[in-house]
Amino acid sequence: MNQKLQQAYGASVDVATVRNRVMRNTYWLLAISMIPTILGAWLGVQFKFTFFSGSPFMGLIAFLAIAFGFFYVIEKTKNSGLGVVLLLGFTFFMGLMLSRLIGNILGFSNGASLIMTAFGGTAAIFATMATVATVSKRDFSGLGKWLFMGILVIIVAAVANIYLQLPALQLTISVVAIGIFSAFILYDVQRIINGGETNYITATLGIYLSVYNIFAHLLSLLGIFGGERD
């Protein structure tokens, strides 16, 4: 891992300094990325934005195409300021995609409280996983392939449930997704600490996706079990 850091920053690099810089920049950019996410969600709620009206499957295909398009261009520009701009553009887009769920939750009389609870729960999960990754002596690098397989299973199950419309399957997907993306935070933060990730834009993207999915699935569960109608 240290060799990778030296290749990225030069042979005379102070490894601890670089790790701290990457981690600091990642956390700062992650915090800043919440601003366009919130803005996108607010605008989406105001204008009732949705990709999923009419044909949910085609909406999912369109979403995946745009998302992977963002992934590609962010990866290509990750070593420049343009990469930051594109990442923030992606987080705005993800805010738009979250607006339908936010709008549904706000339809409950306690909707605002549920959103704040989901936010607090997400923050607690992030803080716990990041702390464990920082202080634990255990190597979590082996989790990567299993977590990736878990995501594929979630995607397949989500596509299937577009047609099946099984509430129990939706609940299972949300619970499993929260577990998988929580583990991804552990994995991604430790990669930074161990020198496996030296680019803060790439690191931010990975952690952002985990935080976003934890919040969305946690909010969905809270809406199902705690939503109150007038």
Determine contact, residues 44/100, Cβ cutoff 8 Å: yes
* pLDDT of the residue at 12: 45
The total number of structural domains in the chain stands at 1
Determine contact, residues 87/205, Cβ cutoff 8 Å: yes
Q: Which amino acid is at 103?
A: G
Half-sphere exposure of residue 229: CA atoms within 13 angstroms, side-chain side: 2
Q: Residue 15 burial by CB count (10 A; 0-12/13-18/19+): exposed, middle or buried?
A: middle
The whole-angstrom separation of Cα 146 and Cα 5 is 26
pLDDT digit string (tens) for 80-132? Answer: 999 999 999 999 999 999 999 999 999 999 999 999 999 999 999 999 999 99
The label of the residue with tokens 């769920």 reads 101
User: Is this structure's pTM higher than 0.85?
Assistant: yes
* pLDDT of the residue at 7: 54
Beta-carbon count within 10 A of 119 CB: 14
The whole-angstrom separation of Cα 181 and Cα 212 is 9
The residue segments making up the domain with residue 118 are 2-226
31 Cβ contact list (under 8 Å, min separation 6): none
pLDDT digit string (tens) for 28-59? Answer: 999 999 999 999 999 999 998 877 666 778 88
pLDDT digit string (tens) for 165-187? Answer: 899 999 999 999 999 999 999 99
Which tokens sit at 199? 């680019």
Which tokens sit at 54? 């009419």
Helix residue ranges per DSSP H, 77-199: 81-106, 111-135, 143-164, 167-193
State yes or no: pLDDT of 76 exceeds 90. yes
What is the average pLDDT across 139-160?
A: 92
